[in-house]
Chain A
């Protein structure tokens, strides 16, 4: 008798990339034909400072296994200070989500510039590995 086919679980990751650096970095990774895991769904935002903590929580609630936020390197923000402000906000958020018991590797923050296609691919690889090792999201996921 044939074994029933079990679909292999693949993590779903949402990445909020800023328009000016990280999105261009992802684009560069693409046009340079650099391979990276296809688990990531990219959402382009104007600035990492635009990312409301709620966006992250809403994604987790909808069953997304990992969230990545990436902006310009400090000092290189298109809006001058957006990523500095994001950095303060997300330093608190990351600690806080861990404090209530969410696994540490669900939410990630990084900087990728427009010229760092290779770095972007490496970031996605690393995030995908971490999230895969955590397994499917269960905490804070809406059941009904």
Chain B
């Protein structure tokens, strides 16, 4: 890990010194355990602020949109997938960003760790080989990293950067397969059971829009939830407004979502947001044979068509 951090710092320092970029976006040490926070490094002397560990959970691709400067960005697998989609959607110019790729072994899910410790306060955390050691006031606990990864990291099949200018670490082994067991089992439930689950998840939502803000691909200048003329979506606390927000938010990401899990991690109420996005990803793959965040040349599935697309859903009288 130290070698990786030194490498990131070295690359960032060189980029800033040579004037190749105006800013390097990466992570720095947070003020509390389990939180590394995004930081913007603007001079070579500051490069030592940059770190890398198992808590760099934010998707930094969120920060590159609408920025008129040259950026270096420390990007793990999912960040690069999002960057690739942003480049494809012309939200950022490829030459404008210098991608420092970091192969990623997954990030630790602090919510689950806190639940495991029954909310005892954590003072320090130390990541070791395959495990991490948590120390609190009157306890010490060692946990397996593998068992406490974020749900999106557990099913990640693109841990290595898909697009980069320089790789900061050794590539890690990818897990194979592109299956959606969670979605398939959910599809097997009855309408009523699915509706009940969905309603329960929605009823917790406080409409803070953190999921939208954390999403690297939600970059509209005026989001449909903020528009007042026309007012697309009601501002009431009625559950239908919340449900429609989530349906539309997910639908706007159909064929674009790279399953980085940033929405779910940003959610203060732990709503199962990814289930909606993953259902759409699954259908896009099944119907249009497209996976977001893989190739720069393939056209986005909803921006194109094939004359022989499936007609199975068309009503025949």
Contacts and interface: CB of A to CB of B under 8 A. Distances in A.
Genuine A/B complex: yes
B240 A102 contact: no
Interface of A: 53-54, 57-58, 61, 68, 74-75, 81, 84-85, 87-104, 108-111, 119, 122-123, 125-127, 139-144
A100 B198 contact: yes
B316 interface: yes
Contacts of B238: 142-144
B244 interface: yes
A92 B280 contact: yes
Contact of A142 (B240, B283, B302, B312): B240
B40 to A, nearest CB: 36
A127 B243 CA distance: 25
A113 B305 CA distance: 21
Given A53-B251, A85-B305, A101-B191, A92 B315 contact: no
Given A61-B240, A103-B191, A96 B250 contact: yes
A125 B192 CA distance: 27
A96 B279 contact: yes
Contact of B195 (A101, A104, A109, A119): A101
B6 to A, nearest CB: 46
Give 10 closest A-B pairs by Cβ, nearest first: A101-B195, A122-B317, A84-B305, A101-B194, A110-B315, A142-B240, A100-B198, A108-B315, A123-B317, A94-B313
A15 B251 CA distance: 22
Contact of A88 (B198, B248, B288): B288
Nearest to A108: B315
Given A84-B306, A88-B288, A101-B191, 6 more contacts: A54-B224, A58-B232, A90-B313, A109-B314, A110-B315, A110-B316
15 contacts: A57-B247, A61-B244, A88-B302, A88-B305, A88-B309, A91-B287, A92-B255, A93-B251, A95-B279, A100-B276, A101-B195, A102-B191, A142-B234, A142-B236, A143-B238
B307 A95 contact: no
B315 A96 contact: no
| B: interface residue count bin | 35 or more
B251 A87 contact: no
Nearest to B240: A142
A100 B247 CA distance: 9
A141 B234 CA distance: 12
B34 to A, nearest CB: 32
Contacts of B317: 110, 119, 122-123, 125-126
B241 interface: yes
Interface of B: 186-187, 191-199, 224, 232, 234, 236, 238-241, 243-244, 247-248, 250-251, 254-255, 276, 279-280, 283-284, 287-288, 301-302, 305-307, 309-317
A57 B315 contact: no
B305 A98 contact: no
B307 A92 contact: no
Q: Which residue, of A54, A81, A103, A127, has the highest number of chain B Cβ atoms within 10 A?
A: A54
B248 A92 contact: no
B251 A81 contact: no
A141 B239 CA distance: 9
B287 A144 contact: no
Contacts of A139: 195
Contact of B307 (A75, A91, A102, A140): A75
B311 to A, nearest CB: 7
Contacts of A111: 314
A109 B309 contact: no
A109 B315 CA distance: 6
Nearest to A99: B279
Nearest to A85: B305
A126 B315 contact: yes
